[in-house]
Amino acid sequence: MEFKIIEWVGEELLPYVDKVAELRIEVFREFPYLYEGDLAYEKTYLDVYLKSSNSLVIGVLHEDRLIGASTALPLFDESEEFKTPFVTAGYDLSKIFYFGESIILPEYRGNKLGHEFFRRREDFARKALVDLRYTCFCAVIRPDNHPLRPPKYKPLDSFWSRLGYEKSSRLNVQYKWQDIDKSVEDFKNMNVWLKKF
C-alpha cells in the first residue's frame, strides 16, 4: 500500500480537525478504550493542539482518506488531568513531551505506521524542547476478564517496550469518558509509559 504522511504543527491542523475527530471516534470505540465518541467533545479535545505552537499531529492518507493519525505536544501545554501526576511526583514539565495517541483503522494496521509515528514524534520532540528528558504516553488499564475484551486481543506492551518505553510504577493518570456499554462518564485509570533521553 502507498501512504501519504502529512505533519501539521499548531494551527496548521485547523482544516483537518473534523477528519481527525471522526477518526478518533471510530478507532477508540474498539477495546480497550470503548469510547462513546462525540464530535463536539472531540473538537474541544483537539483545541489543545491548535493552541500549542509546538504541537504535532501526523496524518496518514490512503487514496485521500485519513486512515491514521498521531499526536504530540509539550506536557506543559496539556490539560491538568495529564500534568498533575507529574507535578505531584516532582517532574519538570518543561522537559517532557507528551504523546496523545496513535490511531490506525484496523484494515491498515501491520504496515509499520506505528513505528513511523513514534520516530516522527520523537524527532519533533528533540527539536521542540532543547532540554528534552522524557517522552511519554498513557494507556488505559482494563481487566483481563473485561466482558468486551475480544478473544484474540493482544496488548501493545511488548511493542512499546521494544521502542524503549517503560511502564512507570509512580505515575498514574485518571481521565474521564463514557464507555460504549455505559450511560454515563466515569474515570479510567491509565498507566504512564516513559522513555528517557
Rounded to 10 degrees, the C-alpha dihedral 7/109/42/38 comes to 160
96-104: strand order across its sheet:
4-9, 56-62, 65-74, 96-104, 134-140, 185-196, 166-178
The domain tally of the chain equals: 1
> Which pLDDT value is given to residue 1?
84
Give the residue from 157, 197, 189 showing the smallest Cα distance to 173: 189
CA 22 to chain CA centroid, Å, is 15
What are the Cα distances from residue 53, in Å, to 11, 37, 74, 102, 139?
7, 26, 10, 20, 25
What average pLDDT is seen over the chain?
A: 96
In the DSSP assignment, the letter for residue 149 is -
d(CA 69, CA 76): 22
Average pLDDT over residues 50-69: 97
Owning domain of residue 127? 4-196
- Is residue 190 within 8 Å of 139, Cβ to Cβ? yes
Q: What pLDDT is stored for residue 99 in this prediction? A: 98
Q: Is residue 93 scored above 90 in pLDDT?
A: yes
pTM of the model: 0.95
pLDDT band of 32, cuts 50, 70, 90 = very high
Compute the distance between CA of residue 27 and CA of residue 19 in angstroms, rounded to an integer. Answer: 12
Alpha-carbon span 175 to 35, nearest angstrom: 12
pLDDT at 111: 96
Mean pLDDT to the nearest integer, 96-124: 97
Residue 112 backbone class (left: φ over 0; alpha: ψ -120 to 50; beta: rest): left
pLDDT at residue 129 greater than cutoff 90: yes
The helix/strand/coil state of 71 is strand
CATH code for the domain in which residue 38 is found: 3.40.630.30
Write down the H helix ranges in the chain. 17-27, 39-51, 80-88, 113-128, 157-162
Q: What percent of the chain has pLDDT over 90?
A: 97
Question: What are 144-184's pLDDT values in tens digits?
Answer: 999 999 999 999 999 999 999 999 999 999 999 999 999 99
CA-based radius of gyration for the chain: 16
